[in-house]
Structure formats: structure tokens, C-alpha cells
Structure 1
Amino acid sequence: MKLVFLHSSDTHGFLLPTDYQNKTDYNAPFSLSRVSSVIKAEKKKYGADHVVVTDAGDCLQGSPLASYTHSTGNYDDLYKFTEAYNAVGYDARCLGNHDFNFGLDYLSFYVDHNDAPIINDNVLDANTDVPFFGREYTIVERNGLKIGILGITTQYIPHWEPKENVAGLKFVSAFDRIKHYAKILRPKVDVLAVMYHGGFESDPETGKATEPHRGENEGYKILTEIPEVDVFLTGHQHRRLNLVAKNTALVQPGYRGEAVAEVVVDIDDQTKKITNMSTKLIDTKDYDPDPAVVEKVADLDKRTQAWLDQPIAYLDKPARIENAMKGRIEGAPFINLIQQMQLWFTKADVSATAVMSETAKGFDKTVTMRDVLLNYPYANQLCRVKLTGKQLRHIIEHSAGFLKKDKDGKISFIDRWIKPKLMLYHFDVFYPVEYEADLSKPVGERLTKLTLHGKPIEDDKIYHLAVNNYRAMGGGFYPEYSMDKIEMTLDKDYVQMFSEYLTHGDVQVDTKKNYKFY
């Protein structure tokens, strides 16, 4: 007997095959609508009574369509958005960290209107220690087989979200909860699957650490220390993974619905024991969008396109970034514009930002909503952080550690930040400090210059840094950041900030380069 798991994750509201950069292009090689077509084709291939369909979250935020849906303030639009996911036919789902970006009321409506059960084992009511959303597990029956499904998300969410978005919630270790529930559920079922909006802190095959073990990702610990888990359906890291390790099938299907992960489990008809498992990723680009999904959001999409074309500001000069990778290393007017805006809102001494999109092109003279969302797609908030000069130096040194220089003098990013997943949204640059880093020196000892307004940064002096809340709360493995250092958090997102800053008066974009790597 064959049992087939079909798994999606991190679709980020890309319901249709477009990234909204070109309003007439609906041929992008991803989308929930393509995911749905893959799932329906595989169900037809194997028979629906052999298939279990799951999703590991990060659905409410990330695309312009998702941003528009939230911006209307109309829950009828959120209902239509949710109905697109219902049209896929999921059997179980769990939540992702970005599903908390728009607050608990918004998320609760979404949870309540999902046809599939939301499985949640580690986001608890702080007062009662019971799951705040959904249920602890579900048991799905297929051809006389009982399949238990657990669901967890990364416990690191409070490090990224404003307090009001997680008020009354308690986030506990994914590992601890799966260890607890696996012992309860495994004796009741023939196959145990875990949906996890989280990834791997170490390589699943070699065990080599791939990031600091701080609790954001606990996949390797779960894989190696909880033998009850047969099928491990992951997400969060936007990686493409499919293998069988430690007698467990594990998968992760990338980003924006680029692939559906498939696990095929062979089970002995008599004993109901697993005899073999195989995994693969099915690219969705080869499948036409599912009309059932397209129909649900056609009106939302039409209104999104009109909303994106609205001009929100006019600049005297363009603020461009011709190439995201080059801009990170050499600087760009658009990066400076973000920094200037952050300083304007916070009155901080120094600003830090990353280039948030690999396709960022910056702004022409006319700035539309489309421009803002394509250049800064994350629902972050801006913070001001209090640091000593020594702490600020440590942070900038950490960022300089992302880079390497080859024997020909070419500067590029070390593999750690580009493989197995591109993570250059973690690479911050700083303004208006002037700094230089010698990449031939050891990491942590690279800064050869660090001044502010012509004066050296002093170790014991207090400085105020403008930076987004994701970083200020510890995201990106930087040293020195902690919640107790946050002095203020601006109650605006970056769309609101750009709209206000670019229209407050004459904005002169600084085109000077203030940092150098050599």
C-alpha cells in the first residue's frame, strides 16, 4: 500500500503566478494556484484515498496581494484570500512566523475560516498553557491506515514581533512539544507526521552546524532525538530539501509555491509497517494555475494592481540601486534613502539596513506603491536601539564578516550566507558612519576606520541606532542586540513610512558612499 504526503510551505500570499513587477505578466514559475494543480494531479495519479495534503505556514504576508488584502481593513477580503487556500484541499496546516505580522485579530479570523484544521502544539495561552489556536493534533484515515499529524512553529517569533502581536501568548520549544506529543500519539496511529514551520540548525545528513543553535530552528534535534516521527514536513528557511535520514522522510519545498514536496511511504498491507520511503520535489512551473484558486481571488488581484499603481510621492532625482548584490558591497542611493528615512523618524545617530529584495531597483522620480512593496516586501517596524560605541563596533564587525576577497581582489559573500539558501537580507550596512574594513584580516578585527561626523566612535559613549524590529529583537544572529536595548518602536510599517517621509518636504537623496570593503 502506498501513502503519499503532498506538502507546501512559505507561499507568502503569492496566490497567482506573478511577482507584480510587471502588471501584465502572469507567467511566474510559482504560486499557490500552481501548487493546487500539482496536488490535484497527484491525487488523480495515486487516488485521493492514498493522499494527505499539508502546509507549514507563512501565508498571510509577503506578496503585494497579501499587503493589499490587509490594507483594506475589510475582513471580507481576508475571507476571499483564505478561500484560495481552502480551494487547494488541505488536510492539515500549521502557522508560520509571518502569519503573526498583522496582529492576533487578523490571524484569528484566518484560523477560524480555514477548512483544514490548524494544528498548533507550541503557541500557548500564557495563562492556561493550552494551545491558543487550533488543536494539538489530528488523525487522518486513509485506506484503513491511521495517520497522526502534529504541527509546530518556530519558538523565536517573540524575538521578531511587536509585543501587541503576541500579547497573551507563550511560545515554547518545538522539540519539547513534539517529544511530548509524539509519545502520546504514536501508539494510536500507523504513521506519524510532523508539520514544522522551522528548519534545520545543522546539516540533516552530516550533523555539521549550519547556524548558531539558539532555538529558531530545531529540525536536526527533532530528527535525531525523536525516533517516533516518520515524516517531517518543514518550512521557514525557504530551502529545497528532500531526503530520507535517520529513518525519517524529510522535505522542505522552497518559497512562494515554487515546488510541492512529495513523500511516498510504502506500507505492508498485513502488518501496517513502513517498508520504504522516498521523497522528491515537484516543480510547479510545469503546471497551469488552478482555475478554482484563480477565481477566488480574481477581484482581489484586479484591485491590487490598481492599488499598486497609485503614486505616493515624487522625487527630484531618482534613488536607484542598479544591482542588489553590487549595491550591498559598494553602496547605492536607494540604500542611503532608506537610512535617511530611518534617521528622520527616530532622530537616531546611526542607521542600519539591509537590501531586502534581490530584485530591488530603487525608485524613479515617481514613486508608486508597487515600487515600495517590491523594494521592501517585509512587514517590519522601525526601532531605535541604545548601544555603546563598543557594541556598535561589534555589530558592524559582524556584518563585515559576511564578505571575502579572492586572490584577484574580487569581493563576494561567503558561502554561509548564500548556500543552501540566499540569506543576504541579514547583511546590514550602516549610515552616516564612515567605515572601512580590510577583508584580509580575521573576522571581528576587520574595521580599520569607524567615524561619525569626522570623529572616531568611542567605546564608552552611548549611541542610538535606527534599525528594523526583526534585527533589533535578535534576528540574523548578530551580537549585542537584545529587547532591553530597544528605546522605541515606531507604530508604522515601511509603506506608511515611505509615504510620509517622501511627502513631508524636499527630500535630497544622499549619493555619497560612506563605506568601503577592501
Structure 2
Amino acid sequence: MKLIFLHSSDVHGFLLPTDYQNKTDYKAPFSLSRVSSVIKAEKAKYGQDHVIVTDAGDCLQGSPLASYAHSVDDYSALAKLTAAYNLVDYDARCIGNHDFNFGLDYLAYYVDNNEAPIINDNILDAQTDVPAFGKEYQIIEKDGIKVGLLGITTQYIPHWEPKEHVAGLKFVSAFSKIKHYAKILRPQVDVLAVIYHGGFECDPQTGKATEPDRGENEGYKILTKIPAVDVLLTSHQHRRLNLVTRNTAIVQPGYRGEAVAKVVLNIDDESKKIKSMSTELIDTKDYEPDKKIVALVKDLDKNTQKWLDQPIAQLNKPAPIGNATKARLEGAPFINLLQQMQLYFTKADVSATAVMSETAKGFGKKVTMRDVLLNYPYSNQLCRVKLTGKELKHIIEYSLSFLKKDQSGKIGFKDRWIKPKPMLYHFDVFYPVKYKADISKPEGHRLTELTLNGKVVEDNKIYHLAVNNYRAMGGGFYPEYSMDKIEFTLDKDYVQMFKEYLTQTDVEVDTSKNYQFY
């Protein structure tokens, strides 16, 4: 017989095929509604009793619609968002790290109203060591074949979330818990699958390290050291992966519902052993949105569009970004404005930020909620970090390691930050320090000039840095950041800060350039 896994992940609240940049464009090549149509078509092709549908989280945050849903205090909008996911008719799901962004009460409502079983092996109650929500595993029988499903989430969440969002919870290694539960579940089932909100620390075929091994992604370790796993349904890195290696089918379906990952197992009817396996990514752009989801969220979408068009402020001059890549390399007024705002709220000496979106355009003179969310889509909080000048230099040097210079002298970004997944939101620039860097020099020795208010930054002097909590708590693998260096975290997100800063201060957009790479 054939057993089919259909897997989604990292939809990030994009229920409809729009990124909300153009309020009349609903033809984007992604969305949960398109995912649902793919799944319906595949079920019709193979039959309900041959298909298992899974999702690996990051459902509650990321889209303007998701931000609007969170802004509605009575959870009525969250109820609609949750109901849309329920219409897909998942067999099992796990939780993603961004599902914690709006706090435990918000997440608990979503979990409690989710119709699919939530599988959770490693997010535990800190006092009892039992799963804080969901169940340890699920056994599903399809045409006489018993399938075991484990669910696991990256253990790195406490490094990104404020303490109140993880209060009372204990996050354990994905590898250690899968190893534990695989021993329990494997003897009971014919097929063992892992739904993992996490990815790979090494290339799954070559074993070459692709990032520092800090426990955020443990997929390669699971793949190579737990042979009991037949199917590894991954996520988190927004990669497009489909391959078979080491007798394991591996998939990851990208971002925003751009694809549904498919695994086909050919199973012997008598022995119930897997004879062969194959993988595929089905692009959702070729499928019309599911009409039931469209109808369900019609009012939610309409209210989102109204909310996005709210005017927030009027600037004395525009603060554009232009081309995102060029802005990172040369600076842009919007980047300066964001840095100015971070300094305003923290009274820090220096500010660090990144261009958060490849499609960010910055602000015109009139600023709406749409402008804010399209330029800064993450629900981060702002921190102030205490550093020595030497530590600040190490941080800046790390950001400079993203860069390369070709034989013609052109400066650009190294391939590893662009492929297989663009990760230039990790590339920070700094303000109001003035700095220059020679990219032809070895990494770690590229800074040729670094001054603050006309004075050279001193190694042993203390400086205060404004930066978002994701970075301050270890996101992006930067050196020197640690939780003990965080002086305080503001109890407001970037949307709130932009509204307050642009309306309550006389903002003068700085259009100067303060750094140069050569």
C-alpha cells in the first residue's frame, strides 16, 4: 500500500494569498487557503485512509492579519484564525517558537481550541517535568498500518522570548526527547514520524556544519543518531527541503504556505515494512484558495485592511529604504529613523538594527499601520545592553563577516546568508557611531575606524547598546550577547513604539550616512 504524509509549517498567519502590501492584490503564490486546496486534492487522489496531514507550527505571528488578530482583546479574531487552521483537518501538529510571541494566555487559547492533537515532547512544566500542553505522541492507523507521531519544538525559545512568555516552562533538547520516546513508540508502530519545529545544524547529506551548534536546530543529530525515525517533518528555517537519506524521508515546506511537503511510503501489505520512499514539494501557487477558508475569514481580512490603513503620523520628510540590499550596504533614512527611535526609548549610546524585510520600502511622509508592519513585521521588544568597547567591536566585526568582495572590487553578501534561505535580517548596522571597514581584510580585523561623537571607541570603556530582544538573547549567533548583560527590556513592541515616537516627538529624520564598506 501507499502511505502519504502531507506537511505544512511556518504559515505565520498568512491565511489568504496576500502580503498586504497592496490592499487589492490577492494573487500571492502562498497562503493557508492554498495549502488546504492542495491537501484536499491529494486526499481525493489517494483516499482519506492513505493520507496523514501534519503541521509544525509558527501559526500565530508573522502576517498583518495575525497582528490584527492579536490586537483584538476579546480573542474573537484569534478564534477565527484558529478556526481557519482547523478547516485544514490536520491529523497532528506541534508548536513553533513564534507561537509564544504573544504570551502564554494567547497560546493556551489557541491550543485549547485546536481540533487536531498537539504533540509536545519537550516543552515541560518546570515543576513536574510533564508536557505543559498536548500529548507525548499519537498513534494513527491507516489501512491497517500503525503510524506513530512524535512532536518536538526547538529548545532555544527561552533565548528569544521575554521571561513572562516562558514562565513555569522547561525546554529540553529535541534530540534527547525524540531518542527517549522513539524507544517507547517504535515497538508499537510500523512507521515512526517526527513533526519537528526545528531544522538542521548540518547539511543532511554531507554532514558539513551550516551554523554554530547551539541546540537551536538538532535535525542532523536526530537523523544520524536515531535510526528508528522513518520520516522527519521539519520546519523553522523556512527552507525548501525534500530528500531521502539514511533510510529517512526528510521534508521542509518553506514559508507562508508556499508549498506542501509530500512523503510517499510504499509499504508491503504482509510484512508492513517500508519498501521504498520518495519526497516532493507541491507548490501551492498552482491551486486556487479554499473557498471555505476564504469565506470564514472574510470579515477578519476586511477588518485587518481597515486597521492597516489607520494613519499613525505625518513626517516632515520621507524615510525610504529603496532597495533592501543596497540599504544594508550603504545605509538608508528609514534605518536611521529606526535607530533614532531605539536610542530615544533606551537613552543608549549606540543602536543596532537590521533591515527586517526584503520587500521593506520605508516610510513616506504619511505613515500608516500598514507601513509599520510591512517594514518591521516581528513582535520584538527593545532592550538596552551593557558592553565594553571591545565587546562592541567584536559584535560589529561579526556583522562585517557577512560581507565579501569579488575580484572586481564589488562588495556583497556571502552565499551562506542568501542560500538556501535568505537570512540577511541577521545583518546588523550600527548608529550613530561612524565606522569604516576594509572587506578585503580577514574576518575579525576589518574595522578601520570606529568613533562615537567624534571620539574613538575605547576597549575598556562601558557603552550601552539599544537592540531588539531577539538579538540581545542570542539570535543570529552573534558573539558577546548574553542575558546577564541586558540592563532592561521595554514592555512594548515595535508597533507601540513607532506610534508613540512618531506622534509624541518632533522627529527629524537623519538622512546622513554613518558607515562605509570598501
Band of TM-score, shorter chain: over 0.9
- Measured in 2, the distance between the counterparts of 1:292 and 1:74 equals 24
Quick check: 458-467 or 74-83, which moved more?
Answer: 74-83
Equivalent position amino acid for 1:138 in 2: Q
- Measured in 2, the distance between the counterparts of 1:341 and 1:505 equals 10
**Match for residue 507 of structure 1?**
507
Equivalent position amino acid for 2:284 in 1: T
**Match for residue 142 of structure 2?**
142
**Match for residue 104 of structure 2?**
104
2:26 is the counterpart of 1:26: yes
Gaps of 5+ in 1: none
SS of equivalent residue, structure 2 residue 49: helix
**Match for residue 330 of structure 1?**
330
How far has the Cα of 1:505 moved from its partner? 2.4
How far has the Cα of 1:407 moved from its partner? 1.2
2:381 is the counterpart of 1:398: no
CA contact (8 A) 1:437 1:446 kept: yes
1:433-478 Cα deviation digits (max 9, x unpaired): 0001100100000000000001010000000000000000000010
Alignment: residue pair count: 518
**Match for residue 190 of structure 1?**
190
**Match for residue 341 of structure 2?**
341
**Match for residue 227 of structure 1?**
227
**Match for residue 15 of structure 2?**
15
- Measured in 1, the distance between the counterparts of 2:252 and 2:469 equals 27
SS of equivalent residue, structure 1 residue 293: helix
**Match for residue 63 of structure 2?**
63
1:149-198 Cα deviation digits (max 9, x unpaired): 00001000000000000000000000000000000000000100000000
- Measured in 1, the distance between the counterparts of 2:468 and 2:413 equals 22
**Match for residue 131 of structure 2?**
131
Equivalent position amino acid for 2:101 in 1: N
- Measured in 2, the distance between the counterparts of 1:302 and 1:74 equals 18
Moved over 4 A (4+): none
Q: TM-score if structure 1 supplies the norm length?
A: 1.00
SS of equivalent residue, structure 1 residue 502: helix
Equivalent position amino acid for 1:444 in 2: G
CA contact (8 A) 1:382 1:490 kept: yes
How far has the Cα of 1:73 moved from its partner? 1.2
1:113-163 Cα deviation digits (max 9, x unpaired): 000000000000000000001000001110011100000010000000000
- Measured in 1, the distance between the counterparts of 2:354 and 2:68 equals 24
**Match for residue 270 of structure 2?**
270
1:240-267 Cα deviation digits (max 9, x unpaired): 0000011000000000000000000000
SS of equivalent residue, structure 1 residue 263: strand
- Measured in 1, the distance between the counterparts of 2:354 and 2:155 equals 24
1:131-210 equivalence runs, <5 A: 131-210=131-210
Q: TM-score if structure 2 supplies the norm length?
A: 1.00
How far has the Cα of 1:292 moved from its partner? 1.3
Equivalent position amino acid for 2:204 in 1: P
**Match for residue 80 of structure 2?**
80
2:310 is the counterpart of 1:291: no
2:384 is the counterpart of 1:356: no
1:4-36 Cα deviation digits (max 9, x unpaired): 000000000000000000000000000000000
SS of equivalent residue, structure 2 residue 396: helix
- Measured in 2, the distance between the counterparts of 1:28 and 1:263 equals 25
2:311 is the counterpart of 1:311: yes
- Measured in 2, the distance between the counterparts of 1:441 and 1:114 equals 53
How far has the Cα of 1:76 moved from its partner? 1.7
How far has the Cα of 1:409 moved from its partner? 1.3
Quick check: 400-409 or 232-241, which moved more?
Answer: 400-409
Equivalent position amino acid for 2:15 in 1: L
How far has the Cα of 1:415 moved from its partner? 1.0
2:432 is the counterpart of 1:470: no
1:397-428 Cα deviation digits (max 9, x unpaired): 00001001111111100011111110001000
SS of equivalent residue, structure 1 residue 503: helix
CA contact (8 A) 1:81 1:296 kept: no
Equivalent position amino acid for 2:413 in 1: F
**Match for residue 91 of structure 1?**
91
**Match for residue 117 of structure 1?**
117
State the Cα RMSD in Å: 0.4
